[in-house]
Amino acid sequence: MRSFLPRSILVLITWGCCTCTDADWPQFLGENRDGTSTEAGLLDAFPESGPKVVWRVPGGVGMSAVTVADNLAITTFNEAGKQVLVAFDAVNGERVWQTSLASEYKNGQGDGPRATATVADGVVYAFTGDGILSAVKLKTGQLIWRTDALQVCEATESEYGMSSSPLVAGDSVIVHVGGRDTAVAAFDSATGQLKWSSGNGPAGYSSPTLINVAGKRQIVSVTGVEALGLDPNTGAVLWTYPFKTPYACNTANPVAVNDDVFISAGENHGCVLIDVQQTGGKFEAEEHWASVDTKSVMRNEWQTSILVDGHLYGFDNVGAAGPTTHLTCLNATTGEPVWRKTRFGKGNLVLADGKLWITTMGGELVLVKVTPEGYRELGRAQLFGKTRQSLSIANGLGYIRDDREVVCINLRAG
């Protein structure tokens, strides 16, 4: 671990950094990065014609989900030879501002930026497919600073592009960069200067998450080769757990389960519940349960599983990026399968109002009751094009984008 500030001036981080309302969706996978919304009063079933589309507007190619804050819907995509950060009016879809971040990004596995923007304290932080980290003003889109994270950390671009959605913790912006002692790096939120870096190996395609583990608030990152628990102030490594997958394809985010950590990966790798214990200020990580290789019960290819009342709901992707995907419910404590909807198909999911809101790669929005008693579908409608993104839920509306459009859907009941 490398620190770039004298220890004497390292300060204790204050965690309540986002000034967004409770109804916003200010970062990747929502307010707590767990794919969960606190909204209620949403649809319990779809009308025959499907839920109403409030607006749809032209967008561009990219893999960033939609961030919603302060009545703006924000995403990134390729447009006119650039990677652009664009803010739409969340109510009517009008383009409010746009900011060029870097030249357009092209990759054999899909063009456009990958990471989802983060909003905190009136600033939007975005990470491009080629590793440019930027901060812009939320109200106007004015650029505050731009940092080439790969150049600063002397790292190499990931094979499938940089896809770490920035995590804001206090006065730090944390992303996965990759490299020697720079797998995870923190940049000053006001200046973009490197503060500390930690860990070794490829960046992977997951994003850092701030969760409670073994009684301590810490950054948990799944890089291309391992899971790491890091001190948010200094980047000091608290614990590690090896988790090497083919092509460094660790993409799903870690999930907090009763002070422990659930991780999962596709490419037939599998999943583990990591039991982290603290004794005398030292942390140790070992398996609570593990289900790996071709017979695994859960292989999240890029989709982060959702924890609800002691059960994990997620996508089990069979084979090396194969076409067979099962929607699955597990007992989070034991790893035992509870139910499985076989051959559901590839998609993504979030939780709101006791229901899973699933976006499929085929462009459908699927509503599923959350219950360990079995699969119960409540609605299905074709509303958008091919996408890997999850639905962002804010103020009774759902936001999704494909490679052509950004779409806003009314999720309210009544």
End-of-domain residue from the set 186, 203, 220: 203
- What's the CA gap between 300 and 309, in Å, rounded? 20
pLDDT of residue 2: 53
For residues 392 and 338, membership in a common domain is answered with: no
| 201-255 confidence digits (pLDDT tens) | 999 999 999 999 999 999 999 999 999 999 999 999 999 999 998 889 999 999 9
Number of compact structural domains in the chain = 3
- Count the helices and strands in the chain (H runs, E runs): 1, 33
For residues 276 and 180, membership in a common domain is answered with: no
Question: Does 401 fall in a domain?
Answer: yes
End-of-domain residue from the set 181, 203, 225: 203
Question: Does 192 fall in a domain?
Answer: yes
Place of tokens 């652009």: 84
Q: What is the mean pLDDT of residues 124-142?
A: 98
pLDDT of residue 86: 98
For residues 249 and 295, membership in a common domain is answered with: yes
Q: What is the mean pLDDT of residues 21-49?
A: 93
Q: Is the pLDDT of residue 5 over 90?
A: no
- What's the CA gap between 367 and 359, in Å, rounded? 9
End-of-domain residue from the set 203, 236, 254: 203
Question: Does 31 fall in a domain?
Answer: no
Q: What is the mean pLDDT of residues 23-33?
A: 96
Q: Is the pLDDT of residue 4 over 70?
A: no
Q: Which domain holds residue 146?
A: 64-203
Residues 100/67, Cβ–Cβ less than 8 Å:
no
For residues 173 and 216, membership in a common domain is answered with: no
One-character DSSP codes across 132-192: EEEEEETTT--EEEEEEHHHHHT----TT---PPPEEETTEEEEE--BTT-SEEEEETTT-
Q: Which two tokens stand for residue 352?
A: 């709101």
CATH number, position 361 = 2.40.10
For residues 245 and 281, membership in a common domain is answered with: yes
Question: Does 136 fall in a domain?
Answer: yes
pTM of the model: 0.94
Question: Does 329 fall in a domain?
Answer: no
Query: What is the number of other CB atoms lying within 10 angstroms of the CB of residue 321?
Result: 15
